[in-house]
Structure 1
């Protein structure tokens, strides 16, 4: 089978790699350089925590498990050391306790812990003495997307996939035997199936095929598609797992650096405007309050991350009902799902069926009178 995969982010390279290793003739097309889109601006928290409804939780859990399986022999991009979240106000306490109860009932690996246990897991983090609601999500993880992507890209090439970078797609159409992809250099690729893994550009690519793929674009500062991420310089802090606090989310960023996120600051995030230096200053102030020994730390960069966000917030996976030769993958949970989506999508393209995709088919949008948009991310416990 001849397959063209469009988009070389973490999802696209995973799909191309899995298809090529199963014997498909794969061409991976990327209009820029692999990993320069959404994959390079992700907090990269691997989890199924708070992912609702249940079908979305189960899909993300499959992604979390796939990461652990792939990393079992030791890899440099995956750190499955867990995630600690602590709550200080009543709303956050209720939210966290309810989540722990719900996830425990599903068999999800989580435990409630004491402040002393939290301090043992998080040396250098200031856990308040009066904090009585702390959860340790023991198998959650953070990922370094670009080393993961490089690994999958190497596997794809070793299995015979052709990779065409800095090559845009200008046309998609059905043919008598499958489909054709017109590239910006005027050449045409023929295939049995095209797999769209273009993330936040999915609607744009769908339009080339004359079909609707409801994925949100940036609309206004602070909307659901954007959020700030900041990175420090190397700091003398021992931190091996994610931390979610009332004021700041933080995780290791490699090389002794920390990645910082505070969802309440995202109201001014705009990908077309350089971040206000005050955002970085506030993130650093919060980091110094949360973590000891950051007096000399500086913020190396603040960027506006852009999310791939289907119109209802849920993953899209399946052949488009109006163009069955076009298989569409789009998800906000790309880093979590990538190692599962690769083989699962490949299996479907080659004729199988993945039961975990049942609730996520593109046809759910057909004839929908109204699509409920996803809520802008908020701090845990915010109403």
Structure 2
């Protein structure tokens, strides 16, 4: 890895830690986050020339704290907070050297007062260390649109009276679920971009995996954290084989399995095996176990669809939702025939969560094709293509429809 890349990784890793120190000392999410960004910019400018300091975190804390103090001193309304902070925390004290506030910061960014979209944006900005411009690119919106959106998220947190602290025992499960869901959403958007010319957004999958690894270091005994990380690794292992040289989408059954990342598969499989043996079963573990069955099959025809069907049955009981039903229908079709799977899809037609969703049309078309009903399959492939904004998916679905005419 080049020196600039190593420096970028270091700054990205330290950013949430430094922000946590400032939030504990001063409060004020927006002011502290702005100060951290200025400190990161100073480091990116000075360290390549002067060298990385012996304690890079302390250097960043000192520079960022000066910025916050300057802001406090310039605004009379905040002088009382400065005095209080000075009494509570001695200058230069950034807490225990091994204290990492990243987990508390993740919980703050996933505060229930925020919408899921705002939680994702704020997490990428504050915990991921992405610039506002980078977050805007992740959402495919102009920076001028994203900046006020992130600012409003910070204001909502302040208005809700949120403090920089771990949630209470009563709040823990719900807030951790929100954190996992945000990381899951970031990964999914990167793995299959909802719109645009590219199927993958590698910067998002990489960031989601990095943040989930960080979360696992803080919660090594949590089975669902391990399950989510395993799911990401086992899924991302297939990334190189999912598209052809021209960016054409290649479905799982047709992928060159020699191009899958064996190291990620080994790590993900070990994670999920250990998690399911030692922790209460949860949705992310079940999804990771399903992913493991797919990637561990030497050939597509060796896939253990019977076991996958059982896993989706369990998942449907503990975390029912239409996407689970959709995947269960595929597993049923592969074990009991496509007509049986198609019958299960009929129950989703009236579900508003799946209304006009391209995946329902695509799965129905696939099962109709397996059943030999090419006319119906062609119609549903065309409908699916119309309802996705992903260009690679559109091309793939239209190609499937055209191939049925041959």
Structure having the larger proportion of residues in helix: 2
Task: Report the TM-score, using the length of structure 1 for normalisation.
Answer: 0.22
**Is the radius of gyration larger for structure 1 or structure 2?**
2
Structure having the larger proportion of residues in strand: 1
